[in-house]
Amino acid sequence: QKEVEQDPGPLSVPEGAIVSLNCTYSNSAFQYFMWYRQYSRKGPELLMYTYSSGNKEDGRFTAQVDKSSKYISLFIRDSQPSDSATYLCAMSARSGAGSYQLTFGKGTKLSVIP
Amino acid sequence: NAGVTQTPKFQVLKTGQSMTLQCAQDMNHNSMYWYRQDPGMGLRLIYYSASEGTTDKGEVPNGYNVSRLNKREFSLRLESAAPSQTSVYFCASSGSGRAGEQYFGPGTRLTVT
């Protein structure tokens, strides 16, 4: 079993829809959870960062972490064509070495249709 | 403030040729990373450098070498390129901010024929 599982999609939704993206993980040591957005032919950019279980909201985006179920989600409200991108979940365990290795999901490709 | 920069943007190599991918960051970050991204495989860590003067293997280090030239620069070398190394390569860096938060460069698209 891969440490991080993410449905690659593709996912196609109409403009204005609520989008739900999900990842599951198996390593209970993961404590830091991130969502990266990657536009076509660009580098990933950090979208959301969460440390503990619960919800974190930033504008139209909500990140949710359920450590008991080892499940994280990203919700996009009122989706826009500009949200069309690949969304990568990433997570890391606590490290005493000063750098934190990220484990990525494979990414979900989202298309928002006008 | 350019963030993380990578050169070149594109490269085509023949099997057996060598090349070095360059990465630089201007955020005064201690840690730097090299990833490759392949369709259906996601981002996989090749090598990383926790701080200037140190380097460590990641998930897929075979066929690569790295050099942390100074705090700003981290290069990735392919000594004898193989078609299996055709990929998009990303450099990233992280600092003393939020644990695990990494900033990525724009990538280098490498094709080995």
User: For B58-109, how does the pLDDT look when each residue is reduced to its tens digit (9 = 90+)?
Assistant: 999 999 999 998 999 999 999 999 999 999 999 999 987 787 889 999 999 9
| CA-wise closest residue to B29 among B94, B103, B102 | B94
β-bridge mates for residue B75, sequence order: B67
Q: In the predicted model, is pLDDT for residue A97 greater than 70?
A: no
pLDDT digits (tens, 9 = 90+) for A52-76: 788 999 999 999 999 999 999 999 9
- Report CB contact under 8 Å: B30, A90: no
Burial class (CB in 10 A: 0-12, 13-18, 19+), A4: buried
Specify the pLDDT at position A96: 62
- Closest residue to A43, CB basis, from B31, B90, B94: B90
Q: Is B28 left (phi over 0), alpha (psi -120 to 50) or beta?
A: left
Q: Does B64 touch chain A (CB under 8 A)?
A: no
SS3 letters across A3-64: CEEECCCCEEEECCCCEEEEEEECCCCEEEEEEEEECCCCCCEEEEEECCCEEEEECCEEEE
With beta carbons under 8 A apart, name residues in chain B contacting A107: 42
Q: Name every chain A residue with its beta carbon within 8 A of the beta carbon of B57.
A: none
Q: Above 70 in pLDDT, residue A110?
A: yes
Looking at the complex, report in whole angstroms how far the Cα of residue B88 sits from the nearest Cα belonging to chain A: 9
pLDDT class of B39 with cuts at 50, 70, 90: confident
Spatial distance between the Cα atoms of A86 and A103, rounded to a whole number of angstroms: 16
pLDDT at residue A1, as a whole number: 60
Q: Percent of chain A, pLDDT > 70?
A: 95
pLDDT of residue B40: 81
